[in-house]
Chain A
Amino acid sequence: MSHVFDLAVVGGGILGATTALFCARGGMTVVLLERGALCREASGVNAGTLTMQMTRVALIPYALKAHGMWSTASQWLGHDVGVRICDGLSLAFTKDEAEILSFRAERRREAGAPISIISGKAAKEVEPGISDGVLLAGHCKVDGFANAYLTGLAYQRALHEADVSLLENRAVSGIEVSDLGFSLATSTGTVRTRRIVLAGGVWIEPMLAWLGIHLPIKTLVNQLAVTERVSPVMRTVVGIASGLLSLKQYPHGTVVIGGGWQALGDRDDGGTELLPDRVIGNVRLACHAIPDLANARLARGWAGFEAETRDALPAVGPIPGVPGAFVCGSIHSGYTSGPYLARLLAQRILDDEPEMPLFPIDRLLELETSRGAN
């Protein structure tokens, strides 16, 4: 009989990797299977923003905890992910935007995010790089960014130190469930385990289908762009109240322009395609916020897949009807909140009481059933 792991995690992004890490540290034998390389999809290609001002209200308490984890990554993860903690600004240029900003900031403040509304003049003191046209800004001192592309290296080392069996370039093609646990079919043989976590980002939909569960997952194709290195043009994370923008300059000088403008993409073949009008729109908005940015040159544009459930809240918890199976995904602003939600799931898997509630998928499956009935 081949070795049986306590836990197999399918999907090597930050959610899967963090769950694997904490379960291994909790004493389990853990295998992590990733069809490509670690953290090379959404976890490695996102904008790295760690912000409260783009986070869903329901997730603010989680995001605050996760922000604390990111800022101490070198302690609990053991390796640096290039995290910089800095002020964050959400800008309003028009009266309408100022209204939206005030409303949204208030809701987030009620949920615990330390956001204050400041004048355009005060915002200019926080961020001298912003344009003169700012009427009002949301200001949050709990903000910052990581170097998303360093995520894989940091987790690779941490997983290795925690004795997680890391199987990269090992795609799982199906799961067989028995009384004894699970058998995962892979390109190079079967992996046996007592528990499984499906943490495949936008691919949790086909993964759940292995267990006969239908959970539709929308694929967002988020567009990003990065400039060449330029002398400092900004020192905060900048967003816009009424729309989609995330903007920050890394210590080495490049500026990453994102926010979630949509590109084209295909979850099944992995291909993405940027739409010129949207790249231009995103860059125009960025240059409107930080005028000196116009002197930089665009080095690269790309897109990554973000998963979204029907209610745009996470799918993190046990899989109903399949004892020992869990799902972890679809966390809005998942890079910010991901590590904390994955740690909560690890607590649940280790039979501890999670310190905050999970987001079980029963609600989403009921939604599907009622839709089906109609």
Chain B
Amino acid sequence: MTELSQAQRTWRNPLFAWDSAQEVEQLPTASYVSHQEIWERTRSSRTELFKVGRLRYYHKWAGHGQSTWRRSRYWPTRRRVLRIRGEYNDKSLRREKTIVDKRPIWWVVGLMVLALVPLITPERLENTLLTAGVTFGIYAAINLCWMLVIGTASIFSLATYAIVGTAAFMTAYASTMFGLPWWLLPPLGAIIGLIFGGIIALPATRLDGFYYALLTLGLNELCRVYFVTSKEFGSATGGLYGAATYLPQDWSSTGQLQLAYYACFTLMLLALLLYRFINGRQLGRILRIAPEKREAFAEATGVDFRQARVRVFLISSVGLGFIGGFYSANYGGVAFSIFSFDTVLLGLAMLVIGGIGRAEGAVVGTLIVVFFDKVLITLGPIRLIIIGLIMLFVVLYLRNGLFGIKQQFRTWRDKKKSERRSTRAEKGGEMLPEEATEARNPDDVYRRRYDKMQREFLKKLVTPEVINEHRRAPQGQHSESLERLLIYFRNQPQPDKYAISALQSTNGYRIVALSGHRGVAPRVVEDKIYRSPVEAYHGVFLRRVQDLLES
């Protein structure tokens, strides 16, 4: 570069012969630079290669063009079993199918494994595992209803176990006192749950967020104290037992356990169905438009989110009451421990570990916690410490539980990627590899690359002589270097291109930048007012040169 600009040449003006008054005969100018040389230098690759791309792997299933519109649906509805996207491959021109949402497959596999557990457990673990399985089924059902309250209705209620416990105690009491059969207990529990839920839903309409959480925590404690101290509910025996149970007494203990396991499993399936029907349909959709702190918007669009929340709360209270009735029919009674603070804590741990707002989070979180709490029962208090540590870890490091990991990891990776990208990006440079993989039209990549090489070349032509030449005569015949620069500048696209606006009031000229959009006025670039068009032309030239050198 330096040697090129040092070796100066003169430029002889061909127009001098005709109009010697206005034109000069010769001017110093930059020497000729071979663009071939620049081209060679630019072509030689010095670029560091980075691993880029954000493709997610999807298996492509074969599809036939004839079966494009053949789809399997859940029978009475128009809902499809799997969300499948069909497309034609651009390269192979074959029809392909992609399963967009694989969660139904995971659900089916997981539930089938759970259904097969009693058949495949080894003999000596059967008792422990099936007892834990019974607890799991009931707790998963409770947590699914709770998830409806916390996740869907975003009411942070901690009185879930109070509802379950009250329903269980009342039904057990009714069964022992009036001899109700076992199949009446869950419906009775549902009615009790509705009444109890109705009572505690009253303050929910007035209080928000944490005020309600603390209140319900207190309510839970209130229930505990009431039931523990009252004689009718067996304050002496640590619980109320002797309710009717659906387990036939003449069966073997293994058979009873297996029956209980499948009954609780069915209960969990029912709760899943309830979750699906509330969260995935009208109520859930209404509430999804009104998340916490954005209620005002929902209200403005005419969504009555308060009523929807209370309805979800009441429905899940009915569900919880039903589960409470089932609880006492399953165990033949209920212990006070259902009201204890640790039960609430463990329940919350189950929700938090799985991730709030997802059915799979409730089920898997319950599985993990029940595994530690009931299967590893020989560990003593350590098992609860382990659960607490998992809970603490999840809360400190994960944004939304185990099932939020995928999303959180992607967000983190994108953040890191854009940080790294920003260290390498340059103004007016080539497309970065990451951008290039996302560019719709590959031509753009090459256009940017060519443009960059052209700029590299043009930068070398900017010398004081060239600028002086332009100051003398912005228009007319120019030396080769200046002509190349001007052609490049003139060919730039319209948006943000510099222009000159003539001011009527002061009889001056000002530099503006075009918006590139019809009807949008150009923006003023600088305050300086030029006296003559020639000066203004040169001002524009200087700005463009500066922009070129900066890029």
A and B associate: no
Q: Which residues of B contact A (CB under 8 A)?
A: none
Q: Which residues of A contact B (CB under 8 A)?
A: none
